[in-house]
Amino acid sequence: MVITCIAILAVDFKIFPRRFAKVENWGTSIMDVGVGSFVFSAGLVAARPVLKEQSAGKGKKLSTRIYTSLRHSLPLFILGFIRLYSVKGLDYAEHVTEYGVHWNFFFTLALLPPYVALFQSALQFVPSFAALAILLGTFYQIALEATSLKAYILTAPRTDLLSKNREGIFSFFGYLAIFLAGQATGMFVIPGQSTSNGRLGGLAQRKYLLVTLVTWSVVWSLLYLLATDYTIGFGLAVSRRLANLPYFLWIAAFNCFQITAFCSIETVFFPEFYRATDEKERKNSYKSATSKVLAAFNRNGLAIFLIANLFTGLVNLTVPTLHIGNAQAMGILVIYGAILAGIALALDMYDISIKL
């Protein structure tokens, strides 16, 4: 989240290395991993209500799940339209090949909850969220390769509403697969962080979590190699613009490896966390081991991301970002980062959680 907030403004300055910026069609960069990881993280924490349903022993009706998801999506739709009209009204620079002429990332985020509510019903027939994610990503890739869909997304003229927003509309299937992969990860990560699991002791539970994380990291990586390798696999190229199968698998592998690394460091250097005997002790150990800045960003992630977008637009409207020197650019970025961190810390200090 911190890297993403910095990069969305830094990319507008000449000092930002072009290799870090989002690629046009094929390949990967640090900004490409940012948007995918945002969706993966959203999926991971979305596992919490599912786990609560399972522990309660009763699931919600499909109509109830869809209603709840639409209620959560409404603020995101509103943010999407606000961004759309502000970008068009202020003639703000944009790349239409990213999501399309009218589409933006907030619309993608808004559509995820209702579709996930529908896919949750499919768990009666498919064993896990991971299997659903793989099936969805595979079928989407088959559609790209077996039909003219890929050529349509990449080269079609923008003549109507669908063609004008084809990147955002069709890449949604890839982002939905990423969300489901994140939810699959959350199904074992979130219970693995709790001391209330009576089946396993603290250390045994932590070892089980690490083994599971390593296993899934390897699974996602092998599937990525199978999709992209030219000798043993299908030789497909990663495309964030399409959000195709290799991109989905790359994001899932990256995030699983990253969480495994974090979990390993926590296990070695902060054993008091998983040795805690009650929830209060666990929370205190977590608080003492976590950066206050990162905890503050984590608490109000989406709100801080929205504020970062507003500041990015404000800077671009007041400063000729492409024509100022490196020293000035660094000064602006440092001030911008400090303001964002200050807002996050202030919200945390006053115990404010902004839920969108």
Domain annotation covers residue 13: no
Domain annotation covers residue 262: yes
Domain annotation covers residue 85: yes
How high is the pLDDT of residue 233? 87
Domain annotation covers residue 219: yes
Domain that holds residue 188: 23-289
How high is the pLDDT of residue 193? 65
Q: pLDDT tens digit string along 254-307?
A: 999 999 999 999 899 988 888 877 778 888 888 888 899 999 999 998 899 889
How high is the pLDDT of residue 91? 67
Q: What is the pTM of this model?
A: 0.90
How high is the pLDDT of residue 55? 81
The residues, any chain, with a CB within 8 Å of residue 282's CB and separated by 6 or more, are: 194, 195, 273, 276
| DSSP H helices in the chain | 2-10, 30-45, 47-56, 62-89, 96-99, 105-120, 129-146, 149-155, 161-164, 166-192, 202-228, 245-269, 271-274, 279-289, 292-299, 301-318, 326-349
Q: What is the C-alpha to C-alpha distance for residues 186 and 192, in angstroms, rounded to an integer?
A: 9
Low-confidence ranges of the chain (pLDDT < 50): 195-200
How high is the pLDDT of residue 198? 44
How high is the pLDDT of residue 201? 57
The most distant pair of C-alpha atoms in the chain lies apart, rounded to whole Å, by 62
Is the distance from CB of 300 to CB of 347 less than 8 angstroms?
Answer: yes
Domain annotation covers residue 64: yes
Question: What residue has token string 């064993």?
Answer: 127
Q: What's the number of domains the chain is made of?
A: 1
Domain annotation covers residue 328: no
Domain annotation covers residue 313: no
Domain annotation covers residue 343: no
Three-state DSSP state, 9: helix
Helix H or strand E encompassing 229: none
DSSP one-letter string for 27-66: S--HHHHHHHHHHHHHHHHTHHHHHHHHHHT-PPPHHHHH
Q: pLDDT tens digit string along 109-152?
A: 999 988 888 877 777 777 789 999 999 999 999 999 999 999 99
Is the distance from CB of 199 to CB of 273 less than 8 angstroms?
Answer: no
157-160, Cβ contacts within 8 angstroms, sequence gap of 24 or more? 158/96, 158/101
